[in-house]
Structure formats: structure tokens, C-alpha cells
Chains A and B, each alone.
Chain A
Amino acid sequence: MPTVDYLALSDNGFLFDTRNGNTYNLSKTGTFILRSLVEGVAPDAVAARIVEHFDIEAATAEQDAAQFLFRLKDMGLIGGDLGDEVNS
């Protein structure tokens, strides 16, 4: 499981990267996804968790989760290991 302990995420979606001081505002869904990772949910289980909490189709949840995780990786917020898992 990749570690994201360098990310400080508040309940209202404010994200602080402790390694470099960068800050971000996440949407409600983005906060939910990243919170899931922080809590140790495997990346490939995130979509199912979204379906449990939000009233959307599984296919949409999978697409949204994959896109969001790809974006996090692209911005350097999550590491290559996680990206590999996401892309696999």
C-alpha cells in the first residue's frame, strides 16, 4: 500500500503537501477519494466506496476515481507505486 502520510487533508477539502508547502482545495468527491487513500483503502477499491456513498453508477465512479487519481499522480501528490496500481 503506498504511503500518503505527507499529505494533510482537512474535512473541508483543504490539502497541504508537507513536503513542499503546496496547498490545494479539493471538491467533495476529491476529498472523499483522497480521504479513502489516507485511511488505507486500496486504489482499486475506491470506486466501489464512491458507489456506496454517492448515488452514481459504478462505471461513472470508476471513471471519476481513475481520472482523479491520475491527476494526483500527475501533480506529484501521490507516488508511482500508486499510479501503477491505478493504471493496472
Chain B
Amino acid sequence: MSAPKVITVAVTGLNATDSPAPGVPVIRAIRDAFGDRVRIVGLAYDTLDPGNFLPGLADHVYIMPYPSQGSEVLITRLLAIHDEVAIDVLIPTLDAELPSIIKAVDRLHEAGIRTFLPDEDMLRLRDKVRLHELDAKFGIRVPKGVVISDPADIARLDQELEFPVMVKGQFYEAYIAYSPMDVHAHFEKLRAKWGVPIIVQRYVPGEEYDVVLVGDGEGGLVGSVAMRKMQLTDKGKAWGGVTISDAKLDQYVRHAVAALKWRGPCEMEVMKSASGYHLIEINPRFPAWVYLSVGARRNLPAAVVRLALGEAVEAMPPASPGVMFLRYAYDQICDMEEYAALTTVGQLHRDRSEGDPS
């Protein structure tokens, strides 16, 4: 199937604060690749998401209901937007919306919205609460982990893990704990914020590397870019980084992608220790630093658009090392009328083509 002359790509997650969503860099990457041949629909969860207002970013912006309102509400809204702007490809970028969207993929495809995403089984496999199973099932080395929902289980942790350990929330945040008392404190903090279960993982000392990649769903790697963080925010997010070239890391990642038959984008967080590489986490979507892939001449978001459209994409060789990025804060002057439109009717249209609903 060949791509339509002008394709319409919808991208979620336009937050761009100090813990940014990946939507803005994904859109920049797609614009770089497709230029005038793409129309961008930004799907935002907040009227004040900075990506809503960036000049030249989205042709249309729609406010979405929070995924916590339920799958049906989210998909109904998506289909209603599709009726207005005819979405060719949808790229979701947020963890919270992925289960709902992946569950509704057939419905979306029937409506004409194409995606290139992992299936429900893949999504479950990489779930933090099951990550420790990957070693036995697929031979992917991961730190030993224990899932706890009851704080009473903390007393028995030392039977399975040596301290220190990492205590992780089921969605976000991780803390190092040197004793059961530390685990208790972090458990309560994480339970209050993200609910249970909490994951307690063997601490792997070493250097962390992050790899953004696209898998073809048949065990092959379409492309990948490995990065070492150079600057962190106080939330541990990358504020600067550089591409690296490590043949053994590349081999490890290829093995993981092949074993999982990963389909679509993801970010693998890998710890390199004296005993080798350990997979710490798989985030089943592009990371916020994905624009580095464009700098490294491996435009992975554009590859996903093409794959979603059914086009063949040739496997890319590993990216060159030494390509750096630094994120910066920027005071964007915004149009009050645009803010008013998003606040009152939940949509904003800047499209220049015919048939625009604005």
C-alpha cells in the first residue's frame, strides 16, 4: 500500500515541562521527514500542555479525556476526532493510554486509523510487575524481583534478595533501599502515589544506558539509538545525552527484541555492570528524548508512520556515536484566543488545507 499524498498523523502527549511527554519530539521528527506531506493532529490531555501552542507543531489540537475515565470514553473521543480530521496514523506516546488503545486496535483499524504497536501479550510481558520473568522465559537477563502488595511481606524480603534493593512504583519512580525499614518508607510513599503492587528489585550497580528502538514484530530490529544520559533533572529524566556505540549492548538489545518479537517503538533501560547487561525496564513507547534519533540520522518516529501505513522500511544500521542533545526551557508567548478555544470547545485548528473543520 502506498502512502496518501498528504497523510494525517495523530500524536498524543503534548506536555513539555521538566518531565516531558514524548509527543512534541515525535511530531518534530515526523515533520522533519514528511514536511508538507503531513498534517499533524495533536492529542493533549491538558489545555496548558506547551505542545498545544508551539508554532508549526500541530495543525489541529484536541483535548482528550484522561485515560482514567475509561477505555470506552477515550476510544469514543478518538473516533469522533477521526470523523472530523480523518486520521491515517495514530502514535500514542503515554503509558497510561496504551492498554486502552492497544485493546481497541482492531476497532481503530476498521475505522481507518492505522497503528504500529505491540499487542496485549507483549504489553503484559514488559509490565514492571512481570519483568523479572523474562530471564527464565526468554533468556533476557533482568535483575531478580519480588512483587509486593502487603507491607507484611517486606519482613520476608531478605529471604529472596540481598540489600540494597530498588523499590519501584508500578508506573513511575524508583528508590534505593538499604534495609527493610527503607523499603517500608518507600513502599508507603509509592503506594500512596501509584497504588500497589510495588516492585522490589535486586540493585544492579553500574552504568545505565537507554536505547530507543523500533521492532518489526517478527523478531527483527528496524532501528535503534543507544544513549548515555549526561544531565538529569531532579526527577531523574534526561536533560542531555549522547549517542554511544557498544557492540555488546547492541547484541543484547537485538536478542531481547528477537525473543520478545517486539512490534513498534519502545525504550529499553539497560544497566551495564561487571557481570554484564541487565534489562531494568521496557517502556512500550517512544521516550521524550526520541528526537536524538533524528540527530543520529535514524528517524524512528517516521519509520513507525511508514510501517503503520504498510510500507516496507529497511533495517537501519546502528547509529553513530557522539551525537549530543541538550534540552532547554523556553518561554513561549501564546495566543490567548488559542487558549480560549482549547478551554471552551476543546479543540484548536490551524490547518491551511481545504476541508478543514475550523
Residues of A within 8 A of B (CB): 6, 8, 16, 18-21
Contacts and interface: CB of A to CB of B under 8 A. Distances in A.
A19 B244 contact: yes
B344 to A, nearest CB: 47
B322 A19 contact: no
B322 A16 contact: yes
Name B's interface SS: strand
Interface in B212-262: 227-228, 230, 241-246
Nearest to B226: A21
B244 A20 contact: yes
A6 B209 CA distance: 17
Contacts of A18: 244-245, 321-322
Q: Please list the 4 inter-chain residue pairs (A to B) with the smallest Cβ-Cβ separation, ordered nearest first.
A: A21-B228, A18-B321, A21-B242, A21-B244
Nearest to B243: A21
A51 to B, nearest CB: 33
B158 interface: no
A20 B228 contact: yes
Interface of B: 207, 209, 227-228, 230, 241-246, 272, 321-322
A20 B243 CA distance: 9
20 contacts: A6-B245, A8-B321, A16-B242, A16-B321, A18-B245, A18-B322, A19-B245, A19-B246, A19-B321, A20-B207, A20-B228, A20-B246, A20-B272, A21-B227, A21-B228, A21-B241, A21-B242, A21-B243, A21-B244, A21-B321
Given A20-B228, A21-B242, 15 more contacts: A6-B245, A16-B242, A16-B322, A18-B244, A18-B321, A19-B244, A19-B246, A19-B321, A20-B244, A20-B246, A20-B272, A21-B230, A21-B243, A21-B244, A21-B321
Name A's interface SS: loop
A20 B206 CA distance: 11
Contacts of A8: 321-322
Nearest to A21: B228
Contacts of B227: 21
A8 B241 CA distance: 17
Nearest to B244: A21
A49 B245 CA distance: 31
A81 to B, nearest CB: 17
A16 B241 CA distance: 13
A6 B230 CA distance: 19
A61 B209 CA distance: 38
Nearest to A16: B322
B36 to A, nearest CB: 36
A27 to B, nearest CB: 22
A27 B216 CA distance: 47
A16 B244 CA distance: 10
A20 B270 CA distance: 12
Contacts of A20: 207, 209, 228, 244, 246, 272
A8 B243 CA distance: 13
Contacts of A19: 244-246, 321
Most chain B beta carbons < 10 A, residue from A16, A19, A21: A21
Contacts of A6: 245
A74 B179 CA distance: 33
A22 to B, nearest CB: 8
A70 B205 CA distance: 25
A18 B318 CA distance: 13
A40 B155 CA distance: 58
Contacts of B209: 20
A18 B228 CA distance: 10
Most chain B beta carbons < 10 A, residue from A8, A16, A18, A20: A20
Most chain A beta carbons < 10 A, residue from B207, B241, B321: B321
